[in-house]
Chains A and B, each alone.
Chain A
């Protein structure tokens, strides 16, 4: 049997300390935690930064370093620092050094880097080794080469190589959500379908149980399947909660693609062992002919300037749609006239917060609020241009009248200056897989003493 302790869905979201202690006392073979996701948008990958606060990351990571030392097992993190770039692996290595220094300890630390050289990916694309997944955007060599960061998602094989170094702490760049959990059970010849399925169920910690915020979960893998065991006092797994987790952030609830094959859970059975634990068997791993890793990449899509105004005058609130439509036309003409800028070189999104800013055209229930926030987002090739376009917008949001006959109105600005420069904005441009002849081809493993 192989026991994997998962403290929470992500480092930075905190975990239940009592439950973690309970997990340690159950002699886990490995502690695995995820450090990231693309869910908060392309900026984190584009800039190579963490979504979670360094202070939270450090406190929680230190707690896990201590837990792993007490349990006498390796500690593995996948997708360090939200996006899993090489820089974020180094960032977490620095944090690890600080934690160890404060504890008065030293440790053997393995790093697995997933960052890809855009030029190399571009060459692989040209030679047919990069292929599109369903729903992928158009891709060409320039788009790849424009990426500020590209990462490949490591699978179980690369994590297994890291485990074989016998490091106490493994800090991995981008991995699949499941790889850090599935790697050891697979190394030990536990049931392959069970290893991947259990990993998918556990990747968000106790999200597959009641009291999902409690985080801590033990998964016991064996040669027939796996058992899910949430460890917080009031957390229970039921066949329903476990099965339901296959739906989570997954376009297909039965199939999960991983490097080297896919998991098929159509034949899985879920059985309550008691009030807390669920037993799962019957999932199937289907190996593929090619070994592919998924790529994620982001490039700069321009720079943005924001303006925000609020309108409270009931007549303007009532006619807000017509008002911003008029403003949009007048402002566009002014940008062309004053700046000589072609319409395709920039964009301005005027959204009415309180009316339909979330859904736009899909909104069927526009409200009749007391006040409306007008959020103006300008995107252009560079910051100076976006700011200049924002300055051309400013007088309209401050004073534009609904009709030419009325006295000049004034609207409310919460800030001065009204233009807020957001800096570069990024866009995801890869939804592709890259074929590798050896799983370690695109990854780099190192061991340091920290």
Chain B
């Protein structure tokens, strides 16, 4: 089975303010969107990100062929335990998940 990053065009992660992270999966086509919308569960994403699935806000945006996943930052931005000030690397965690 392919990884998310092999099916979509690009995965981007950013801070949405200091207390939230947001991950945008740009699918690039209706086909890829349908594949990922069905084949990437919120539960799997939550497990990979080490967070509670209930904390995740997910938007499957058909018009854009984008799946957007937002979650409270597990470590607040800039806390001594924060490893990634701009939230840049969370995209890789999602991109490397295997699609069901």
The answer to whether A and B come from one shared complex is yes
Residue numbers of A with Cβ under 8 A of B are 38-43, 133-137, 240, 243-244, 247-254, 301-302, 304, 347, 349, 351, 357-362, 364-365, 377, 379, 425-428, 431
Residues of B within 8 A of A365 (CB): 96
Q: Mark contacts of B23-48 with chain A using CB atoms, 8 A cut-off: 1 yes-contact digit, 0 otherwise.
A: 01010000000000000000000001
Q: Which residues of B (1-37) have their CB < 8 Å from a CB of A?
A: 14-20, 22, 24, 26
Q: A42-B78, A247-B68, A351-B83 are known contacts. Are A428 and B19 too (CB-CB below 8 A)?
A: yes
Q: How many residues on B have C-beta within 8 angstroms of the other chain's C-beta atoms? A: 37
Query: A41-B78, A251-B57 are contacts. A135–B20 as well, Cβ < 8 Å?
Result: yes
Q: Closest CB-CB distance, B1 to chain A, in whole Å? A: 15
| B80:A359 contact, CB within 8 angstroms | no
Inter-subunit contact B66/A43 (CB<8 Å): no
- Evaluate whether A431 and B16 lie within 8 angstroms (CB atoms) in the complex, with A39-B86, A361-B50 already known: no
Report which residue of A304, A357, A431 has the largest number of chain B beta carbons within 10 angstroms of its beta carbon. A431
Asked whether, in the complex, the Cβ of B14 is within 8 Å of the Cβ of A249, the reply is yes
Pick the contact of A304 from B63, B80, B92 — CB < 8 Å? B80
- Residue from A133, A247, A251, A360 within 8 A of B83 (CB atoms): A360
Partner of B76, one of A39, A364, A428: A428
Is B84 positioned at the interface, with any CB of A under 8 Å from its CB? yes
Which residues on B sit within 8 Å (CB–CB) of A357?
83
Most buried by B among A137, A254, A361, A362: A362
Per a CB cutoff under 8 Å, which of B16, B80, B92 touches A377? B80
Bound Cα distance A302, B78 (Å)? 12
- How far is B14's CA from A21's CA once the two chains are assembled, in angstroms? 32
Contact B78 A426 (CB under 8 A): yes
Residue of A nearest to B22 (CB): A251
Q: List 27 A-B contacts (CB under 8 A).
A: A41-B18, A41-B77, A41-B78, A137-B19, A137-B76, A240-B64, A243-B63, A247-B24, A249-B14, A249-B16, A250-B22, A251-B17, A251-B57, A301-B79, A358-B83, A358-B84, A359-B89, A359-B92, A360-B83, A364-B48, A364-B93, A379-B80, A427-B76, A427-B79, A428-B77, A428-B78, A431-B18
User: 18 extra interchain contacts, Cβ-Cβ under 8 A, other than A137-B19, A249-B15?
Assistant: A38-B18, A39-B15, A41-B18, A42-B77, A133-B19, A135-B20, A135-B73, A244-B66, A247-B24, A248-B14, A249-B16, A251-B57, A253-B61, A254-B59, A347-B81, A364-B96, A428-B18, A431-B19
In the docked arrangement, what's the CA distance between A347 and B89, Å?
24
How far is B75's CA from A347's CA once the two chains are assembled, in angstroms? 15
* CB <8 Å contact, B76 and A362: no
Cα(A349)–Cα(B79), bound, Å: 12
In order of increasing CB-CB distance, the 9 nearest A-B pairs are A251-B70, A135-B72, A42-B78, A251-B16, A41-B78, A428-B18, A135-B19, A379-B80, A358-B89
Nearest B residue to A42 by beta-carbon distance?
B78
